[in-house]
């Protein structure tokens, strides 16, 4: 009987622990659901949000969400609802069977241009190009639309990878949140597609598949809104899928053909016409890396990699990967000139500073900030300084060092 008090204490502890754990899970689920409803269903938070009455605003919004997403409409946080709320999804709110944006915006022309402004470091450049081309062909296969790739200037659909805030008033919130968003046809941002760089982009079913997400987002770029049909590509929840299966459901086809009509022929799908700089070869010519006299114009760290700049090219090397990716500078940052002089990264700001002559550019995330280039004298240099020879950033001191001839 000596162990009886201990056993009684243990039983008492367990009996209190499990209800507390259950209560905590319920509270977490309620908070997660409230945030989900605020983000995607226009729910306005108030102090009576969690009063479970059939007429409460919270219950009404849960029913609206359950109906839209094809769940049993109970108004309660049952397991099916909580499981779906926890899944990754696309960025815009749900507000029918196929649906279009308000006013049914669509492109008035049948030949559209697209441009990839920058590239994710998760994939080879060629893999990104292939995924985007294939995603567009999903829609051109069912419509009279054709897509032309541009490497310069404005395009109807501007495609970019960015993290957090990226100058469009709809910031990403890191890995696991909204994974991408795209805008309906129109001016300015109209048609543009943005992909969250904090996701791990892949060409397989692991991570976040670029082709599948791009195909969904380009549906928005062409004028489709979310679909209630859980089998449709335009259903707003990211799901595992079979790469060998054509992703469009009849609901998607009905929607896109409502806007643009059926395809004239299935043999003339997405013509891969590319508008390139006539002075630039289709593929960069690899410099001789075995040349004992090979030097680099600039070297910097960049998102955990090392970037080596040479003329109009650069290499990206990650310590965990044996080989280095090789690309044209213009394929990543079209605004940058070839032959950069110096560069350094400020990791805590997610910024990289790149110098050429008496100008410099600041890259935040993967995107050059729109106010650049600026003159280097805005950094405090006298106007007789015409270039920076070498620069590096000391993170321990929070200072940048600049080398000009024999001075720093």
**Can you list the pairs that 356-365 forms with residues at least 24 positions away whose Cβ atoms lie under 8 Å?**
356/387, 357/386, 357/387, 358/385, 358/386, 358/387, 360/388, 361/333, 361/335, 361/336, 363/333, 365/161, 365/162, 365/163, 365/164, 365/166, 365/197
Q: Which residues belong to the annotated binding site for Zn(2+)?
A: 166, 168, 181, 194, 220, 234
Where b means 16+ CB within 10 Å and e means fewer, 233-263 reads bbbbebeeeeeeeebbbebbbebbeebbeeb
- Residues in contact with 404: Cβ distance below 8 Å, sequence separation at least 6, in sequence order: 385, 387, 388, 389
Residues at the binding site are 122, 156, 166, 168, 173-174, 181, 190, 192, 194, 196, 199, 220, 234, 297, 341, 343, 391
Is 345 a catalytic site residue? no
Closest CA to 119 of 351, 326, 340, 312: 326
**DSSP helix/strand/coil, 243:** coil
**Which residues make up each annotated binding site for Ca(2+)?**
122, 156, 173-174, 190, 192, 196, 199, 297, 341, 343, 391
The two structure tokens encoding residue 314:
């650069």
Q: How far is CA 192 from CA 38, 130, 166, 175, 272, in A?
A: 24, 18, 13, 21, 19
Selecting among 64, 142, 197, 217, the annotated active-site residue is: 217
Active site residues: 217
């Amino acid at each position: 009987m000596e162990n009886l008090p201990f056993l009684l204490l243990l039983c008492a502890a367990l009996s209190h622990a499990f209800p507390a754990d259950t209560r905590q899970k319920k509270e977490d689920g309620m908070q997660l659901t409230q945030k989900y409803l605020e983000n995607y269903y226009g729910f306005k938070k108030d102090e009576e949000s969690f009063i479970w009455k059939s007429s409460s605003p919270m219950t009404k919004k849960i029913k609206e969400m359950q109906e839209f997403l094809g769940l049993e409409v109970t108004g309660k946080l049952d397991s099916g609802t909580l499981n779906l709320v926890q899944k990754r999804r696309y960025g815009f709110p749900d507000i029918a069977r196929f649906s279009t944006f308000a006013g049914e915006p669509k492109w008035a022309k049948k030949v559209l241009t697209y441009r990839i402004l920058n590239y994710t470091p998760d994939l080879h450049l060629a893999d990104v190009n292939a995924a985007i081309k294939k995603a567009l062909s999903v829609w051109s296969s069912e419509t009279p639309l054709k897509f032309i790739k541009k490497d310069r200037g404005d395009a109807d659909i501007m495609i970019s990878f960015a993290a957090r805030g990226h100058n469009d008033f709809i910031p990403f919130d890191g890995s696991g949140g909204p994974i991408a968003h795209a805008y309906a046809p129109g001016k300015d941002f109209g048609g543009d597609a943005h992909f969250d760089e904090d996701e791990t982009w892949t060409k397989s079913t692991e991570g976040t598949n670029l082709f599948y997400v791009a195909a969904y987002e380009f549906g928005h770029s062409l004028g489709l809104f979310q679909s209630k049909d859980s089998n449709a590509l335009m259903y707003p929840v990211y799901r595992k899928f079979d790469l060998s299966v054509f992703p469009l459901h009849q609901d998607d086809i009905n929607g896109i053909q409502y806007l643009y009509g059926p395809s004239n022929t299935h043999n003339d799908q997405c013509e891969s016409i590319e508008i390139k700089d006539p002075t630039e070869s289709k593929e960069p010519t690899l410099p001789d890396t075995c040349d004992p006299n090979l030097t680099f114009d600039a070297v910097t760290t960049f998102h955990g990699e090392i970037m080596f700049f040479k003329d109009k090219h650069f290499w990206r090397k990650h310590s965990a990967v044996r080989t280095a990716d090789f690309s044209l500078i213009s394929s990543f940052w079209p605004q940058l000139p070839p032959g950069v002089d110096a560069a350094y990264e400020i990791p805590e700001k997610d910024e990289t500073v790149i110098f050429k002559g008496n100008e410099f550019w600041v890259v935040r995330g993967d995107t050059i900030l729109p106010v650049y280039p600026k003159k280097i004298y805005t950094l405090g240099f006298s106007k007789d300084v015409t270039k920076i020879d070498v620069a590096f950033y000391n993170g321990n001191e929070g200072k940048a060092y600049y080398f000009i001839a024999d001075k720093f």
